[in-house]
Chains A and B, each alone.
Chain A
Amino acid sequence: MDYFAQQLINGLVLGSIYGLIAIGYTMVYGIVGMINFAHGDIFMIGGFIALITFLILISLGLTAVPVILLVVLLVSMAITALYGWTIERIAYRPLRHSFRLAPMLSAIGMSFVLTNYSQVAQGARVKPIPPFITGGYTLHESQDGFVIQLSNIQIMVVITTIVLLAIFTWLVSRTRLGRDMRACEQDQTMAALLGVDVDRTISMTFVIGAALAAVAGLMYLLYYGLVDFFMGFVAGIKAFTAAVLGGIGSLPGAMLGGLAIGLIETFWSAYFSVEYKDVAAFSILIVVLIFMPTGLLGRPEVEKV
Chain B
Amino acid sequence: MTAPSTHTTKPATGIPALLKTGFINAVIALVLFSLMVGIRTEAGSEGQLTYWTRFGELASLVAAVFGGSIVIELLRQWIGPTGAEKLVPPAVQSGMSFVGRYLAPALLIFTLLVPVIFYNQRYILDLAILVLTYVMLGWGLNVVVGLAGLLDLGYVAFYAVGAYSYALLATNFGWSFWICLPLAGILAAFWGVLLGFPVLRLRGDYLAIVTLAFGEIIRLVLINWQTLTGGPNGVSGIPRPTLFGIPLNNSDEGLAAKLGIEYSPTHRIVFLFYLILALALLTNWVTIRLRRLPIGRAWEALREDEVACRALGINTTTTKLTAFATGAMFGGFAGAFFATRQGFISPESFTFQESALVLAIVVLGGMGSQLGVALAALSMIGGFELFRGLETYRMLVFGWAMVLIMIWRPRGLVGHRAPTVYLKKAQAISSDLVKEGHG
Binding site for B on A (CB under 8 A): 29, 35, 45, 48-49, 51-53, 55-56, 59, 75, 79, 82-83, 85-86, 89-91, 93-95, 98-106, 108-123, 125-130, 199-200, 203-204, 207, 233, 237, 240-241, 244, 248, 275-276, 278-279, 282-283, 285-287, 289-290, 293-295, 301, 303, 305
Neighbouring B residues of A93 by C-beta, 8 Å = 7-8
B367 and chain A: residue at smallest CB distance: A101
> Which of B42, B220, B406 contacts A106, CB < 8 Å?
B406
Complex interface bits, B16-41 against A, C-beta within 8 A gives 1, otherwise 0: 00000000000010011011110111
Asked if B122 lies at the interface with its beta carbon under 8 angstroms from chain A, I say no
Beyond A89-B7, A276-B220, whether A125 also contacts B360 by CB under 8 A is: no
Asked if B284 lies at the interface with its beta carbon under 8 angstroms from chain A, I say no
24 contacts between A and B (CB under 8 A): A35-B209, A51-B49, A52-B36, A56-B39, A86-B32, A90-B7, A91-B407, A95-B406, A101-B436, A102-B406, A106-B406, A116-B395, A116-B399, A120-B392, A121-B40, A123-B42, A127-B41, A128-B47, A199-B8, A204-B1, A233-B352, A244-B205, A290-B198, A305-B307
A56 to B198, CA, bound (A): 50
Neighbouring B residues of A104 by C-beta, 8 Å = 208
Neighbouring A residues of B402 by C-beta, 8 Å = 105-106, 108-109, 112
Neighbouring B residues of A295 by C-beta, 8 Å = 206
- CB distance A123 to B307 under 8 Å? no
**19 further contact pairs, Cβ within 8 A, besides A91-B403, A115-B395:** A49-B35, A49-B36, A53-B35, A59-B51, A82-B28, A91-B407, A93-B7, A99-B411, A101-B436, A106-B402, A108-B356, A114-B399, A120-B392, A121-B40, A127-B42, A204-B1, A237-B352, A282-B216, A283-B217
Neighbouring A residues of B203 by C-beta, 8 Å = 293, 301
Complex interface bits, B371-413 against A, C-beta within 8 A gives 1, otherwise 0: 0000000000000000000001111101111110011001100
> Which of A115, A285, A293 contacts B201, CB < 8 Å?
A293
A83 to B436, CA, bound (A): 30
Neighbouring A residues of B356 by C-beta, 8 Å = 105, 108, 112
A112 to B353, CA, bound (A): 9
Neighbouring B residues of A109 by C-beta, 8 Å = 360, 398-403, 406
Taking the closest CB of chain B, its distance from the CB of A118, in whole angstroms, is 7
Residue of A49, A99, A111 ringed by the most chain B CB atoms within 10 A: A99
Taking the closest CB of chain A, its distance from the CB of B342, in whole angstroms, is 24
- CB distance B5 to A89 under 8 Å? yes
10 nearest A-B residue pairs (beta carbon)? A109-B402, A112-B399, A113-B399, A102-B410, A282-B213, A116-B395, A116-B396, A98-B410, A275-B224, A106-B406
Taking the closest CB of chain B, its distance from the CB of A246, in whole angstroms, is 12
Beyond A79-B34, A244-B209, A303-B307, whether A122 also contacts B41 by CB under 8 A is: yes
Asked if B210 lies at the interface with its beta carbon under 8 angstroms from chain A, I say yes
- CB distance A86 to B411 under 8 Å? no
B215 and chain A: residue at smallest CB distance: A282
Taking the closest CB of chain B, its distance from the CB of A107, in whole angstroms, is 9
Beyond A289-B210, A290-B198, whether A51 also contacts B32 by CB under 8 A is: no
> Which of A29, A111, A121, A129 contacts B36, CB < 8 Å?
A121
- CB distance A55 to B39 under 8 Å? yes
